[in-house]
Chain A
């Protein structure tokens, strides 16, 4: 079983939607296979359930809709109630985790790292606020992979918490 799995997902041709994909490409350069396996993909698919189930810890990186742009948020995932339905064309993080549970009996510790995006049009670059937040995302993902939830006194792990923004340009 691998110690950590990082899945960065999104469409790198659609501006900030590609945040997760770009982050995964960067993390691949610095993380060894012993630290974590890194997967970059356009969207979540059911077959990722096997990789999820065989990891002690999973970190998802994705863009989010919200304000202010560039804000980085962290949340821990918990098993969802049973009875989730699935559309074979669209699989979200909760469904993927639940699918792993139903097929392989495992729901590993899992986190989402998300960044509020600003622009989702046709572009291969991230917007300035999201680009500025990228180093913080990479640091956070690395720390989560190695150490798990960061020590933040008083913070409810189930809630999405803001963990900062990139430097203002």
Chain B
């Protein structure tokens, strides 16, 4: 008798989602789906707006990664202006982007996934939260707070506020960096470095107990995509696209991101509002690939900063080739935090960082613009067309989380097949199905945090609708 398990909503994610697991007649897992149950609509309702409003409008897509949308949108507008923005403005935008990557990764690692990693996947659900973490290891929790504040404070110092900042504008940034702000940020660096290094040491000691999760958490061959610098180093702002296959061979390298449509297309499914980007030459759904911290660390030749490169070398020793298990997104996130702090320090010590030449001014010179950058969760693409009056006529946004949609769906299928017993549900099983999604750190709400308590209800139903088993988390 075929049955269906429903997890609704999935907890400790940014946004709202549910998971369904379809069982076959013998209680085995037949299929699993990750459903996004909210609609953004930004691509449509920005039509008719002046293009220069777009960066600030687009930053409202997300309360976690507004800087990514602000920057990527500004880059698309730079392309419409057809200007080369001043080098100091590029550096300042980089600083803000890295600060956001740090705060977003800290949120994901310490607030959302740390309860699983510190307390265990099978811990009592009532304790699997930040209070449970504080009770077991307050020092670790304080390091998380410190790292998140480090990133948020930099965003605030540069952009005026922590969430939905301004300052980044088409053509550059609105104001130069004041010397005292540079000095305040630099003064925070040593403390942030020591916090992330302590956390990395803790994590490397801890992951041994998650061997089974490493083996089963979205651990399968896919391609990986991201931006890289000219010699393949980690890049979060400019760069060219690199796609690597599951054995480490380069499928594309130094591909101009303006040509993204040659390699990426999007499919839709009737059961979710999130599209499914795929690698065009292989078609849908065979063109599965992953983006984000794990993908970036797989594809790069090096991070480009000394301490992060040391950690990258150690990270790569875990496997003989490409690291395929999505459990390692957590580890990759910590290495990227370390890299971000080091890189911010380097950028702020550049001799021209206080230059007052931070903005190129022009009117629209092109009818179309594409902006691509690396958001915390992966490659983010904004693509606009305007009319003669400079009003947006068409917009296409490929959000970083979307690239991972195929992999997330296949991941919950893998975890469900490994852990789910079709006759009885357990909290540990339920939590692992959610935890594989948390490893990807999807950002679903896209505009703000979801508010309120998030109850969880899992039902095991017979094909006639009879409830066979039920677990509720209020």
Contacts and interface: CB of A to CB of B under 8 A. Distances in A.
Contact of B129 (A41, A42, A86): A86
Contacts of A89: 449-452, 454
Contacts of A88: 12, 111-112, 129-130
A87 B456 CA distance: 12
Given A87-B11, A102-B138, 15 more contacts: A43-B449, A46-B111, A46-B130, A46-B145, A50-B145, A50-B146, A87-B129, A88-B12, A88-B130, A89-B449, A90-B452, A98-B131, A99-B134, A102-B131, A103-B134
A50 B112 CA distance: 19
A47 B149 contact: yes
Given A84-B131, A89-B449, A103 B138 contact: yes
Interface of A: 41-43, 46-47, 49-50, 84-90, 95, 98-99, 102-104
A162 B88 CA distance: 54
B145 A47 contact: yes
Contacts of A84: 131
B204 interface: no
B268 interface: no
A23 B445 CA distance: 28
Nearest to B147: A47
Nearest to B11: A87
Nearest to A50: B145
Interface SS of chain B? helix
Given A47-B152, A89-B451, A89-B454, A103 B129 contact: no
A56 B129 CA distance: 28
Contacts of A46: 111, 130, 145
B142 interface: yes
Contacts of A103: 134, 138, 141-142, 145
B19 interface: no
A90 B453 contact: yes
30 contacts: A42-B163, A43-B451, A46-B130, A47-B145, A47-B152, A49-B145, A50-B142, A50-B149, A84-B131, A85-B126, A85-B129, A85-B131, A88-B12, A88-B111, A88-B130, A89-B449, A89-B450, A89-B451, A89-B452, A90-B451, A90-B453, A95-B131, A99-B130, A99-B134, A102-B131, A102-B135, A103-B138, A103-B141, A103-B142, A104-B142
A27 B471 CA distance: 48
A43 B450 CA distance: 11
B148 interface: yes
Contacts of B130: 46, 86, 88, 99
Contacts of B129: 85-88
A103 B149 CA distance: 15
A41 B162 CA distance: 9
Interface SS of chain A? mixed
Residue from A49, A88, A90 with most neighbouring chain B CB atoms (10 Å): A88
A47 B145 CA distance: 5
Contacts of A99: 130-131, 134
A89 B63 CA distance: 12
Contacts of B134: 99, 102-103
A135 B141 CA distance: 39
The 10 closest A-B pairs by CB, nearest first: A102-B134, A86-B129, A47-B145, A88-B111, A87-B453, A103-B138, A86-B130, A47-B148, A86-B131, A89-B449
A42 B141 CA distance: 23
Interface string B193-212: 00000000000000000000
A90 B449 CA distance: 9
A152 B108 CA distance: 46
Nearest to B126: A85
A15 B131 CA distance: 32
A84 B126 CA distance: 9
Contacts of B131: 84-86, 95, 98-99, 102
A86 B111 CA distance: 10
Interface in B151-168: 152, 162-163
A50 B149 CA distance: 10
Interface string B7-23: 00001100000000000
Contacts of B449: 43, 89
Contacts of A50: 142, 145-146, 149
Nearest to B146: A50
A155 to B, nearest CB: 32
A64 to B, nearest CB: 16
A104 B134 CA distance: 10
A91 to B, nearest CB: 9
A47 B451 CA distance: 17
Residue from A46, A50, A89, A104 with most neighbouring chain B CB atoms (10 Å): A89
Nearest to A11: B448
Nearest to A95: B131
A89 B450 CA distance: 6
B119 to A, nearest CB: 13
Contacts of B149: 47, 50
Nearest to B141: A103
